[in-house]
């Protein structure tokens, strides 16, 4: 269900924007990313994507006529440091909204401990756990990436299409790993497949041979690895060295070119995976790729950069619509700028959006990652990419919509 925009709210927000623009303080967004820990290789690219959005917005005149600012915090890919970083951003640095975190295992406690009680909007670009859909967050938590309820089905479809009938799963022991494992197992078994074993692993261990022994039940054709590159690399190395598995299926968290660098191309040759991915031929996707390339060089084969970029645009547009840096007002304006009906505006069109808002027009942001239409739970729909390691490169085989059960 897509939540429509309330007309009265749009009119009042427009009036507020007109009266407050001249005196508005700069919008400051807290950027909560993993600069260390298991997802550190995703942190800097996500930060760059966020900075790119801010640079474009400021080049178009800023938010309410003031330059937009960001303040970064390192989650360390861990709940406790992530919550501490969020608390500092909100209570010390006074940010008006939060972008992040990446890991569901960090995003959820941040929402529960900081965003909800402090009434500050939080938009994640990468947290895919199905738990987030039903989380009691007072509508302060949104995400620009589809739930793993969808990715689990997509993962099941590519696993079955590869011809695997019996698999084992090793997954990171957090909300992301548990949620995606449950969604995959349910879908794969509904398709007639067998999940021989599901084994959780803890982050930061030096060895995972015990987990591999539990997963290797005999007759298992492939290992589905749901995790992150730092520990995932160790699991892969020990799986190959110990002769536990030769065939692998990955998810978004393992889409990492450093696996080739550190393990060698042959170690992962032919392995497949899924990732939330927009169709790259849209105007928004093309603009983002061109702008990122111009600023930093070619877009790396990492997921969630376009969704990071879109999250910053949505926050900025919501503040512009609200005409205020009030945290609740920004939250209340998110669907006004992201959902239909309205004039389509995309990446690089912030000035156009400002003019439309000032004229009392509805807008509908169509992002680099596709439509950013938030339902009543703050979730968005999406498509998925099937990718593979081939000759030392990460190749996209296709982009598709999974067939969800009725």
Query: For 296-350, what is each residue's pLDDT tens digit?
Result: 999 988 899 999 999 999 999 999 999 999 999 999 999 999 999 999 999 999 9
Distance CA 309, CA 307 (A): 5
CA 280 to centroid of chain Cα atoms? 17
Fold of domain 7-147+281-371: Rossmann fold (3.40.50)
- CATH level 2 (architecture), domain 149-277+383-400: 3-Layer(aba) Sandwich (3.40)
Closest to 68 (Cα-Cα) out of 349, 303, 350: 350
pLDDT reported for residue 301: 86
Indicate yes or no: pTM above 0.75. yes
Percent of the chain with pLDDT over 70: 94
Mean pLDDT value across the chain: 93
For the segment 89-107, the average pLDDT, to the nearest whole number, is 98
Angle at the Cα of 79 (from 316 to 109), degrees rounded to 5?
A: 60
For the segment 273-300, the average pLDDT, to the nearest whole number, is 93
Residue 176 CB: number of other CB atoms within 10 A? 31
Burial 2-18 (b: 16+ CB within 10 A, else e): ebebeeebbeebbebbe
- Checking if the pLDDT of 57 tops 80, the result is yes
Same fold, 7-147+281-371 and 149-277+383-400: yes
pLDDT reported for residue 173: 96
Distance CA 194, CA 186 (A): 10
In 189-339 the beta strands, taken as DSSP E runs, fall at: 194-201, 222-226, 248-250, 272-276
Q: Domain residues of the chain, as ranges?
A: 7-147+281-371, 149-277+383-400
């Amino acid at each position: 269900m897509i939540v429509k925009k309330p007309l009265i709210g749009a009119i009042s927000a427009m009036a507020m924007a007109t009266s407050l623009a001249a005196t508005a303080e700069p919008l400051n967004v807290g950027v909560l990313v993993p600069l260390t820990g298991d997802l550190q290789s995703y942190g800097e690219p996500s930060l760059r994507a966020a900075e790119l959005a801010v640079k474009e917005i400021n080049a178009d005149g800023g938010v309410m006529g003031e330059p937009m600012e960001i303040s970064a915090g390192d989650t360390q890919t861990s709940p406790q440091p992530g919550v501490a970083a969020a608390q500092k951003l909100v209570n010390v640095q006074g940010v008006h909204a939060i972008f992040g975190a990446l890991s569901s295992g960090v995003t959820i406690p941040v929402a529960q401990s900081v965003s909800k009680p402090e009434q500050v909007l939080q938009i994640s670009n990468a947290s895919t756990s199905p738990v987030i859909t039903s989380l009691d967050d007072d509508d302060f938590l949104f995400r620009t990436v589809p739930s793993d309820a969808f990715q689990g089905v997509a993962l099941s479809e590519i696993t079955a299409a590869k011809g695997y009938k019996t698999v084992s799963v090793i997954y990171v022991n957090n909300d992301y790993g548990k949620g995606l494992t449950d969604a995959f197992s349910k879908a794969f078994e509904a398709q007639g497949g067998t999940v021989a074993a599901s084994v959780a692993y803890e982050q930061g261990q030096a060895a995972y041979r015990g987990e591999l022994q539990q997963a290797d039940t005999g007759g298992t054709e492939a290992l589905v690895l749901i995790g992150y590159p730092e520990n995932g690399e160790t699991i892969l190395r020990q799986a190959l060295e110990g002769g536990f598995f030769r065939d692998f299926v990955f998810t978004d968290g393992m889409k990492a070119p450093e696996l080739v660098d550190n393990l060698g191309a042959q170690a992962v040759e032919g392995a497949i995976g899924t990732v939330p991915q927009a169709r790259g031929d849209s105007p928004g996707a093309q603009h983002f790729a061109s702008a990122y390339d111009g600023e930093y060089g070619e877009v790396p084969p990492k997921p969630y950069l376009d969704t990071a970029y879109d999250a910053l645009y949505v926050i900025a547009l919501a503040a512009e619509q609200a005409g205020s840096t009030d945290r609740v007002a920004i939250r209340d304006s998110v669907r006004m700028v992201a959902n239909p009906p309205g004039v389509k505006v995309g990446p690089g069109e912030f000035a156009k959006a400002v003019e439309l808002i000032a004229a009392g027009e509805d807008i509908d942001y169509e992002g680099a990652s596709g439509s950013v239409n938030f339902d009543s739970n703050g979730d968005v729909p999406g498509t998925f990419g099937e990718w593979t390691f081939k000759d030392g490169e990460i190749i996209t085989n296709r982009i598709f919509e999974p067939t969800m059960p009725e």
